[in-house]
Amino acid sequence: MMRRGRKHSGVVLSRGARLARGAVAFCGAIFSAPALGQVLGVATEIPIDSDVVGFAFSGGLALFSAVVALTYVGERKQWRRREAELVADLEEARAKVDRARIFLSSEPQAFIAWTGPDGEPDISASTLLVLEAAVAPRRILAFGAWLAPADAQALEAAVDRLRKNGEAFRLPLAGLAGRHFDAEGRAIGGSAVLRIREVSGDRLELIGLRERYVETEGRLAGLHALLDVSPTPVWARDAKGKLAYVNNAYVSAVEARDAADAIARGLELLDQSARAEAAQALAKGVVWRARVPAIVAGARHMLDVTQTASPEMAAAMAIDRNEVETVRDDLEQQMQSHKRTLDQLPTAVAIFDRSRRLAYHNDAYAKLWQLGPAFLDQKPTDSEILDRIRADGRLPAESDYKAWKERLFEAYRSNDPMRHTWHLPDGRIVDVVAHPNPQGGVTYLYDDTTEAVDLATRFNALNRTQSETLETLHEGVAVFGADGRLGFCNPAFVRMWRLHPDELAQKPRFESIVAQCKTLHDDEETWARLQGFVTSFNDMREGFTRRIERSDGVVLDCTAQSLLDGAALLTFVDVTADVNAERALSERNKALMAAEKLRNDFIHHVSYELRSPLNNINGFVHLLGEESTGPLNPRQFEYLGYVSKSSAALLAIIDDILDLATIDEDAMELEFSDVDVMTTMRAAIEGVQDRLAENSIDMQIVALDNVGTFRGDAKRVRQILFNLLSNAIGFSSPGQTVTLAAMRRDDEIVFKVTDRGRGIPPDVLERVFERFESHTAGSRHRGVGLGLSIVRAFMELHGGKVFIDSAPGEGTTVTCVFPARAAQDDARPAASEGGAQ
């Protein structure tokens, strides 16, 4: 723009100069003679008047000056207007250039422009662009000096195509120092323009991401290729939990056509519960590892599944443990079985390898030599163990320990087992067997025979003791072997069956002995059963006991018992005295039962015979008390009352005796029904009203609202309460109060009868429930002692319990507990009542 403005200004100035020069030339030509003649068309020799010429020249000059002045004024105006336009254009161009420079310098970049195929490049580079230390900005076209060789060749080829064909391009470039550049080339207005920018920030990160993406894609492809040939099923899920990748092993496991088919159909290898656990672990952000069952190609296998904890994509692999676990389980079972077998053996076992170091030992070995795990876990040598045992004083005392140890170590060079017997200082005897191993080394077996020797000694002593004991027994003992021959018999057996000792010393068969015994007991069935027991197989024998009554009056109890070695044991016990005593006792018991029956019959008969006259007496007493019979004087009326009370008391005693007799015969039957507690209590109190009034005793009833009902015999319950109240009134003093209380406790109904009388001494308290036990000293109560006996008998028939609590001077409390197991659910509440009646 600046150059163009200067060019226009020069044009304006030259035009005015040319006009002035033309005007001067014209005037000069006119006033020159030759020229004037040429102008006028006449010869120059013609004389011209000088004044005319001067005037004409002055006029022409004036005219010319006016024309020039007017022309100059017009041109000057046009020039000033044009100059103002050019100045404005120049300022705008300068502003654009400044902005372009600012934009160019705002980031590290460079512009290279070629105007033609052979033109020189125009290079404009930002000061921020720093290529390499060895390359100046003017040598930027030397791409190989600051770019990687491959990127430099690619950029040169792209620039050639741009200059020749106008083909645009864009290339990412890598510098030799590790920086990154972006090259963009395109054709603009007939020029080829190359823009090179140093990449930073997001672009640099994008380039890095692209490089890592390409690298990752390559690695992923290799990983997929590796996973496809792996026998382990591998799969991956997207963020929504759907299958995104499966390998060939997974495809085979779920029996799909290919990976795309498995993903499209969503075929799962794990069951729902396992997938739920994996999803929970994924939600928590933890790695999930589990051993789960799964159906692999139609067969049930155990899989070790591991799942990553990435929420965007979860990858998992399943290692089939079926074959490995089978082999491992078999091997582990064999090893554990072998180890358990060796550990359970009482024989101590120690295995040493070819370097004479301990390779294995069982528990019996550590216990035998009292060696701790810390020492044995160090795998000590055979010599070190022997030295340790010798230092602890548990090896046999040897005069030449070194030579003894060398003789023991000869087992490492021998082909045959070597046996030794060690007598330890503590009295133990150990048999040692050293077995050479085919792979080298020795296996030691230490068998502590101390107990075996001790047992053998004890067995011999015990055998002698048993023989002596059996020979002194009064019971006859005979042992027969599995072949049916006599193995042993004691003298009592010989005496009991009157046998000949010389014949028994020949170990005869069971049939020969039976033939001699039949003279005392000729029962074929008994001897056939005993013979069958002795001669039968051991697993078919069943022991039994049989009583034998011989012809001489002796009674024997024979017991047949099988022994462990297939022998049969027969024992004969003389129970003649016991049988005779039993028979005597049986006869006496029968006599007692007959006497008891006779007594009960007598009681029933006498009670019935007494009841009838008493009923008649009560009837006549009632008639005498009626006004229709006739008037009685006061003394007669008083005597009539005495008769009525005596007959009523006698009738009650007879009823009690009959009840006890019925109970003794187990003939008492209760009539169960719903017993209302409050009604029963009132009925019992009603029966003792006359006694309360006669003795000036107050009566108090205490019952909770929820006492309700229970299952029982209402008549017998009233009789129980009546007897308890009668006793309480009889032992109370005038003015005192007798309390009858009832309550429901869990599944029980509890009655309590309390008086404030003289109480019962401790020595008497233990016998108050016995029959005919009456302790009335110091009280007005009179009776035969049957009331509490009947109470206890009726309570036992109800399945209840009765307790008595008394202390001298403090009164007595009798508690009756009835089971309420069959009580109605809708227990009827009874109002609590109290006060004197």
**Residue 816: per-residue pLDDT:** 92
pLDDT classification of 363: cutoffs 50, 70, 90:
confident
User: In this predicted structure, what is the pLDDT of residue 817?
Assistant: 92
- Helix, strand, coil percentages (3-state) for the chain, rounded to 5, are 50, 20, 30
Is the pLDDT assigned to residue 827 strictly greater than 50?
no
Nearest residue to 711 (alpha-carbon basis) of 756, 748, 681, 674? 674
Q: How far apart are CA 674 and CA 824, in angstroms?
A: 8
| Nearest-angstrom CA–CA distance, 493 and 474 | 8
Classify residue 486 as left (phi > 0), alpha (psi -120 to 50) or beta: beta
User: For 126-138, how does the pLDDT look when each residue is reduced to its tens digit (9 = 90+)?
Assistant: 655 555 534 455 5
**Geometric angle at alpha carbon 405, from 399 and 411, rounded to 5°:** 145
- pLDDT bracket for residue 84 (50, 70, 90): confident
CA 471 to chain centre: 64
Asked if 792 and 802 touch (Cβ cutoff 8 Å), the reply is yes
Judged against a pLDDT cut of 60, whether residue 773 lies above it is answered with no
pLDDT digits (tens, 9 = 90+) for 207-262: 667 777 878 888 888 888 888 888 889 988 888 888 888 999 899 888 888 988 88
Q: How far apart are CA 391 and CA 389, in angstroms?
A: 5
Let me know: does 155 contact 171? Beta carbons within 8 Å.
yes
- pLDDT 10s digits, 50-75: 677 777 778 888 888 888 888 888 88
Q: In 10 A of CB 321, how many CB atoms?
A: 15
Strand partners, 351: 360, 443
3-state secondary structure at position 775: coil
pLDDT for the residue 538: 66
Q: Where would I find the H helices in 230-381?
A: 248-254, 259-265, 272-284, 322-344, 363-369, 373-376
Largest CA distance in the chain: 229
Closest CA to 821 of 795, 791, 796, 800: 800
Locate 9 and state its tokens.
Answer: 């200004």
Q: With pLDDT > 90 as the criterion, what percentage of the chain qualifies?
A: 4
Q: Residue 602 burial by CB count (10 A; 0-12/13-18/19+): exposed, middle or buried? A: exposed
**Res. 763: pLDDT tops 80:** no
- The DSSP result for 716-756, as a single string, is HHHHHHHHHHHHHHHTSPTT-EEEEEEEEETTEEEEEEEE-
pLDDT per position as a tens digit, 683-723: 888 878 877 888 888 888 888 777 888 888 888 888 888 88
Average pLDDT over residues 595-610: 64
Q: Which residues pair with 748 in a beta bridge?
A: 745, 819
Going by C-beta distance under 8 Å and a sequence separation of 6 or more, which residues neighbour residue 432?
419, 420, 421, 422, 444, 445, 446, 447
The structure tokens listed for 659 are 């009840």
Asked if residues 169 and 122 have their Cβ atoms less than 8 Å apart, the reply is: no
Q: Two tokens at 668?
A: 């008492």
Tokens found for residue 792: 């206890």
Q: What is the pLDDT of residues 444-487, one digit of tens each?
A: 999 888 887 778 778 787 777 777 777 778 888 888 888 888 88
Q: Which residue has the higher pLDDT, 776 or 629?
A: 629
Length of the chain: 837
725 touches 684 (CB < 8 A) = yes
DSSP state of 365: H
The pLDDT, as a whole number, for residue 170 is 86
Q: Which of 60, 63, 75, 70 has its CA nearest to residue 28? A: 60
What mean pLDDT comes out for the span 401-413? 89
Task: Return the top range by mean pLDDT from 20-24, 125-129, 747-751, 787-791.
Answer: 747-751
pLDDT tens figures, 265-308: 888 888 888 888 888 888 888 888 888 888 888 888 888 888 88
Other C-beta atoms closer than 10 Å to the C-beta of 562 total 19
Report the distance separating Cα 23 and Cα 60, nearest Å: 10
3-class secondary-structure state, position 399: coil
Whether the pLDDT of residue 33 is over 60: the answer is: no
The more confident residue out of 201 and 16 is: 201
Give pLDDT tens digits for 485-536. Answer: 888 888 888 888 888 888 888 889 888 888 888 888 888 888 888 888 888 8
Cβ proximity of 792 and 769 under 8 Å: yes
Nearby residues of 473 by Cβ (< 8 Å), 6 or more positions away? 490, 492
Strand partners, 319: 304
> Does the structure show a pLDDT above 70 at 435?
yes
CA separation for the pair 664, 14 (Å, rounded):
170
Burial 452-485, CB ≥16 within 10 A → b, else e:
eeeeeeeeeeeeeeeeeebeeeebbbbbbbbeee
pLDDT of residue 692: 82
Check residue 634 and give its pLDDT: 77
Check pLDDT > 60 for residue 737.
yes
Cβ contacts of 426 within 8 Å, gap of 6 or more = 394
Vertex 680: Cα angle to 679 and 684 (nearest 5): 120
Neighbours of 371 (CB within 10 A): 20
For residues 106 and 65, the model is more confident at 65
| Nearest-angstrom CA–CA distance, 254 and 267 | 6
Q: What is the per-residue pLDDT for 599?
A: 62
Q: What is the mean pLDDT of the chain?
A: 78
Sheet arrangement for strand 243-246: 243-246, 234-237, 314-320, 299-307, 288-296
Coil, helix or strand at residue 112: strand
Percent of the chain scored above 70 by pLDDT? 78
| Spatial distance between the Cα atoms of 311 and 283, rounded to a whole number of angstroms | 7
pLDDT for the residue numbered 106: 59
pLDDT on residue 776: 54
Pair 744, 820: CB distance under 8 Å: yes
State the DSSP code for 509.
Answer: B
Q: Cβ(323)–Cβ(342) under 8 Å?
A: no
What is the predicted pLDDT for the residue at 655? 65
Other residues' Cβ atoms within 10 Å of the Cβ of residue 154: 18
CA gyration radius, the chain: 69
Which conformational region is residue 285 in: left (phi greater than 0), alpha (psi within -120 to 50 degrees), or beta? left
Query: What does the pLDDT read at residue 824?
Result: 41
The one-character DSSP state at 414 is -
Asked if 281 and 287 count as a contact pair (C-beta separation under 8 A), the reply is yes
Least confidently predicted of 96-105, 350-359, 768-777? 768-777
CA-nearest of 648, 650, 659 to 771 is 659
According to the model, what pLDDT value does residue 30 have? 47
Least reliable range by pLDDT among 113-122, 217-226, 601-610 = 601-610
DSSP type of residue 411: G
Are the C-beta atoms of 112 and 193 separated by less than 8 Å?
Answer: yes
Per-residue pLDDT, 467: 75
Handedness of CA 421, 425, 428, 433 (dihedral sign): negative
N- to C-terminal Cα separation, the chain: 143
Are 178 and 198 in contact by the 8 Å Cβ rule? The answer is: no
Give the single-character DSSP code of 145.
G
Confidence of residue 818 (pLDDT cuts 50, 70, 90): very high
Higher pLDDT, 132 or 771: 771
The pLDDT of residue 128 is: 53
* CA 795 – CA 800 distance, rounded (Å): 5
Whether 544 has a pLDDT exceeding 50, the answer reads yes
Rounded Cα–Cα distance for residues 678 and 704 (Å): 10
What tokens were used for 409?
């170590």
Q: Residue 832 pLDDT more than 70?
A: no
